[in-house]
Amino acid sequence: DAGVIQSPRHEVTEMGQEVTLRCKLISGHNSLFWYRQTMMRGLELLIYFNNNVPIDDSGMPEDRFSAKMPNASFSTLKIQPSEPRDSAVYFCASSLLPGDTQYFGPGTRLTVL
Amino acid sequence: KQEVTQIPAALSVPEGENLVLNCSFTDSAIYNLQWFRQDPGKGLTSLLLIQSSQREQTSGRLNASLDKSSGRSTLYIAASQPGDSATYLCAVSPLNDYKLSFGAGTTVTVRA
């Protein structure tokens, strides 16, 4: 299996632009997690899904952030409009079941100018 | 709110020395604890997962122990190698939920 796939790997955009990050889960996994990593705050869970349903989105910082899981193998995280403080590395991870080992993607490094 | 602490923040050892990495957490009502490795510019790789009912897990040169009552876990890496240089993070998930709370990590450098 190719593991969790994220795209793009790097994104540079200007403040106010819409950003869409993409994630493909490992085949057969039912849980999907979106994280953000910064030097200041470390790794933070933004939202997680189980069987395509959002279970907990309390970590989503603002209404500017939204996440979807249109099918069992794919998810998007959208930021609209983006701001410089959104600059971070965004990871998605998947697991077979919610409490199992999480497998992380390589991350998307987002820079908002 | 679960607080996860890893001390020290950084560690440098000569090749061959055993590594001891510490993780402490404030709420002992956990579902499991995981240790991850992160290389610079990369994602996290899961090393070991310890269920709350377990005391330890072993994989090759790695051994992780869990003392839930005292809120501590220790990751031992035997006979360290330069390839072990990375940041090691521990994460705990609470009962009745699956949200991982991460420590800030310990950055390890193994000198050849």
Q: State yes or no: pLDDT of A1 exceeds 70.
A: no
Q: Would you call A100 and B43 a contact, using CB atoms and an 8 Å cutoff?
A: no
Least Cα separation, residue B103 to chain A (angstroms): 8
Tokens of B42: 């990369």
Confidence of residue A100 (pLDDT cuts 50, 70, 90): confident
Q: Would you call B102 and A42 a contact, using CB atoms and an 8 Å cutoff?
A: yes
The Cα–Cα gap between B71 and B66 comes to 8
Does A90 contact chain B (CB < 8 Å)?
no
**Residue for token digits 């989105």?**
A57
Least Cα separation, residue B102 to chain A (angstroms): 6
Mean pLDDT, rounded, for B77-105: 92
Three-state DSSP state, A57: coil
Confidence of residue A87 (pLDDT cuts 50, 70, 90): very high
The Cα–Cα gap between B10 and B108 comes to 6
Q: Would you call B43 and A56 a contact, using CB atoms and an 8 Å cutoff?
A: no
**Residue with the larger pLDDT of the pair A1 and A62:** A62
Quick one: pLDDT at residue B41?
A: 86
Q: Which tens digits make up the pLDDT trace of B21-79?
A: 999 999 998 989 999 999 998 899 999 999 999 999 999 999 999 999 999 999 999 99
Least Cα separation, residue B42 to chain A (angstroms): 5
E strand or H helix at B109, and its extent?
Answer: strand B106-111
The Cα–Cα gap between B25 and B68 comes to 9
Q: Are B14 and A81 in contact (CB under 8 A)?
A: no
Choose among A56, A102, A107: nearest Cβ to B46: A102
Q: Which tens digits make up the pLDDT trace of A6-61?
A: 999 999 999 999 999 999 999 999 999 999 999 999 999 999 999 999 998 989 98
Nearest to B48 by CA among B28, B26, B66, B70: B66
Confidence of residue B5 (pLDDT cuts 50, 70, 90): very high
Q: State yes or no: pLDDT of A98 exceeds 90.
A: no
Q: What is the mean pLDDT of chain A?
A: 94
Quick one: pLDDT at residue A49?
A: 94
Choose among A45, A56, A104: nearest Cβ to B44: A104
